[in-house]
Every structure is written in structure tokens, then in C-alpha cells.
Amino acid sequence: MFNRTRCLQTAAALASISLLAGCGVLSEDDEKGNQKLVVGTTSSPSTLDPAAAWDGSWELYRNVYQTLLAFPTGSTKPQPDAAQSCEFTDSANESYRCVLRKGLKFSNGEALDAKAVKHSFDRIRTINSKVGPKDLFGSLERIETSGDLTVVFHLSTPDATFPFVLGSPAASLVAPKEYPADALRTDGKVTGSGPYLLQAYEDKKRAELVRNPDYTGFANRRNDSVTITYFDDSAKMVAALKAKEIDATYRGLTAEEIKDLQGAEARKQGIQVVEGYGAEIRYLVFNPKDPAVAKPAVREAVAQIIDRGALVAKIYRGTAEPLYSMVPKGVASHKTPFYDRFGQPSVSKAKAILREAGITDPVRLTLFYTTDRYGSSTAGEFEEIKRQLDASGLFEVTIEGKPWKVFQEGYKSGEYPVFGRGWFPDFPDPDNFIAPFVGKENAVGTPYDAKEITTELLPQSRRQGDRGAVGKQFERAQEILAEDVRLLPLWQGKLYVAAGEDIGGGERALDPQTVMQMWELYRKTSW
């Protein structure tokens, strides 16, 4: 996610929902079913225009924009949303046809028809934003419309994952009259057809969502409105939660805060915390333009030194687990190639790697991270990485934190030699943990010419409609990533849902992209 990124980006490397218990006395509005909730988060949108975001902005998009397909709770395969039906029309997986539901319209009254769908996708590629989701549509060659309801996507190569992309917020549908074909919308408003309308918005402060009366889709809304409050610090967010100024917190909690919410005092307040599987990952990116990390030995030495177990224990206190592949545990084809190759952390082995490459002086590295996207624990994480590398005597490390917008422009422009990123899946398939990071243009802004992956393994896997039959390709791809060490996986986050006794739906609120589905939350009408 975000970044997709999915962010698709918590401080504790997790997607967490903490729902505060109510007072036990229901208001008249609640008794009448007028459900109003307030949710806090530390991850505010970078933009309201889907053509320019592949990050945590998707949290908002999922709730205000509609997509042709979507992932209802519990589903790992895309299901119809704005579309009535979608299917490949050829055996080669190169032509994908969707038929829209009848009578759909955007919140400005404009028809959501085949022309609007074509407009939505064409503008992503025309605008070609460096931080937008255009790379997700790399296989899309052209779009054909037939009548008002039929859209056919013609692909340049077979791509069985294309329906998954259509189910992500990258494929958000927008109203042609409000969203220029060749420029971003900049008035701070949203015109969509999703479950909610964006009634009011203040950048980095709040988003007011109200039920869209004209919505037609899969979402069963269990509340009437949601106010999303954006915090610049998780401590302020937790304080607001405890003061009952907000009903819930979502994204940005540190490990210490999660432990606190799992404690006895929180239980006395009626807070329950549920731990679940998460596919969010954290990793380092090495930029080959930098003279130091262009050398494989330097990257291998870093991989040999970093102690993931110590990092997770010290910074994340059990709210995450060590990760030895870009494909996380719980996703099909997951292996542990980095552990298989490097084993336990070893300074002596790292020293031998550097000496064999003729490197005898300490290697100077600057590591960059974002200060306001993944949460408050990120600074501590990079301090620990610096400590481990410096303690080896083989590196002299400097770390620099940047605000997300500055950080995003910097890594996309190739300015940073080593930087930390988080990844939330755009869709639940191993392809989404391999393909976005390789090729000339990719999600991390550093060209990675992994030819075996891009010209053999991915094309082979995308010809296969049965996603359970692509294990060999992705196992080999993981091995290649470990051999090259252009990306270094660090840890995998867990999901936490903490709910008060009067709040329901928390266990259903995260879709397979760990994007918050606000419509699943509700206040119980009785105890």
C-alpha cells in the first residue's frame, strides 16, 4: 500500500484497531440505529486523487471510492462490486471483460458508466505520477467500451493477477466531470460512488464520512457516519482514546501502547484485544547508484549482521516477528531464503565477506526513514539497526528521518543510498510481494533488472489462472532476491483488534489488503 500501501504503515508494523468500550448506557440515537463512530489514526492521506497515491491514502479511498471488483471480508479472491460480472474472455488471460451494474452514479449525479471507467484508468496512465499506482497496470495495453455497461481491458501480456489489481483501491473509479483527464484534482474534494460520501475534509486533521444514499455494491454498512481524526503522534491519539474523545484508534500504535491496551487497566475499561495474522512487512532498500551499496559484499555484510530477533524483541516486543523473505508467512509459496543463506547473525562472517571483496575500512552508510508514515516506533527501529551495524566495527552509520512527502519524493528520485519501507499487500497473492519491486520502474524507485524474474518467472505465473499452481516460480523468485540482496526483509507485523464491549465488527473491519472497511464497525444496541 501501500505503498501500497496498501498502507497500506503502522508504527509497530502492524495494522491495528483499538476500539474503546462505551459507557454501557446507550443514547437515543443509538437506540434508533443512528450509528456514529470516531476513528483515530496517525496515517493521513497524501492526496485525495487516486491517480497519485500508492500508499496509506488507500485507507480513505476504500471507503469513498468504488472499484469494479473488491474483497469482501473473508475473501481472498476478488468479487463484483461496481461490476455485475467480470471474466477473462480468452484462454491466454489477455482480454478481461466487465459488465457494470445498471443505474450506478457518482455523488455529483454523473453516470458511472463504461466511459467513466475508461476515463478513470486512462488518466492514471496519462498523468503518470511518480508516486501513483500506474506500475500496477503495467500489463494494460488499452481499454475498449461497448455500450454503456461493458468494458474490455486488453492486456499486452497474459496476466491472471489483473482481476486482483481491479479489486484494489488503485482502481478507484472517479467522475469524469470532476477529475481532469491529464491533471490531478486539487480542490480537496472527492466525487465517488463508494459506501460513504466525504462530507468534509481538513488535511492532516479530519475526514467526515456519511452514508452514501445512492451506493450500490457489496458493502453492508453497519453505521451511518464515521469521523476519521488524523494525529501527528500516537501518544496524543491514545490519550484521546482514553479520554473518550474518539471511539477507536486505527494505525500508528507503538508496541508499548498495544501492550498497555492489553493490560489489566485497559481490561477494566472494557477493552478487549484480539491478535490476528498480518501480511504487512518492513524491509530495507539498497540503491545501486550509491558507490558503497552497489557492491554486493556490502549488502551481504549488512544482511549477515542484522539481528531481526533482537530488533523485534527490543522495539516491537512481540507485536511482530522476524521475516526472511519478501513473501511473508501466511501467503502462498512463503520460504525463508535469507535465513537459508545467511543463517544466524555473525560479525565474523560479515567481516570475511567484506575482506574477500577487498574492503578493509569501515563502510560509511546513511540510512533514511520516514517520520510520519509508519508510526512512532520507526525511529527506534532505525536506531537499533544503526546500533547493530556500528557495534560490528565494520560500518559507520548515520540515520536521517524525513516527512513522508519529502521521503517519498527522495526515494523515487534515487537520492537515498539505503532506506526503509513498509509494504501492505495490494492484493493477497505472492505476485504482489515480488513484482512491485523488480523491473526498470518499480514501487521503490530503484531500477532492479532481475531478468529471470521479469522475463521468465512472472510471465509464467501470470499465465496460470490457478494461483495455487505457481509455487515453483515464486519459490525461485525468493531465492533470487536473497542472492542479490537488493531488498532486505526485516519483519512481519501482526494485526490487533481491540474492541469495547459495546463495539462490534472489529474482527471484520480489515480486508485482505489490511485496509480499514469502516462499514463493518457498529455500536451494539444492547449488551
Strand partners, 491: 282, 322
Q: What pLDDT is attached to residue 17?
A: 37
- Which pLDDT score is estimated for 232? 87
Residue range 114-122: average pLDDT? Answer: 98
SS3 118: helix
- The residue with cell 521503490 is 444
pLDDT at residue 513 in the model: 61
Rg of the chain, C-alpha, whole Å: 23
| Structure confidence at residue 24 (pLDDT) | 35
Distances (CA, A) of 370 to 8, 11, 91, 144, 381: 14, 11, 44, 40, 12
Mean local confidence (pLDDT), 14-41: 52
pLDDT confidence tier of residue 32, bands split at 50, 70 and 90: very low
Spell out the residues 6+ positions from residue 352 whose beta carbon is closer than 8 angstroms to its own. Answer: none
Which residues touch 391 (CB under 8 Å, ≥6 apart)?
none
Residue 498 is predicted with a pLDDT of 64
**What local confidence, expressed as pLDDT, does residue 507 receive?**
78
pLDDT above 80: residue 141: yes
Cis peptide before 162 (omega within 30 of 0): no
What's the confidence (pLDDT) of residue 31? Answer: 39
pLDDT digits over 466-518, tens only?
A: 888 899 999 999 999 999 999 999 999 877 766 667 777 877 877 656 778 89
Query: In this structure, how many other beta carbons lie within 10 angstroms of the beta carbon of residue 484?
Result: 18
The pLDDT score that the predictor gives to residue 20 is: 35
State the average pLDDT over residues 373-393: 93
Report helix, strand or coil for 84: strand
pLDDT band at 527 (very low <50, low <70, confident <90, very high): very low
Quick one: average pLDDT of 324-332? Answer: 92
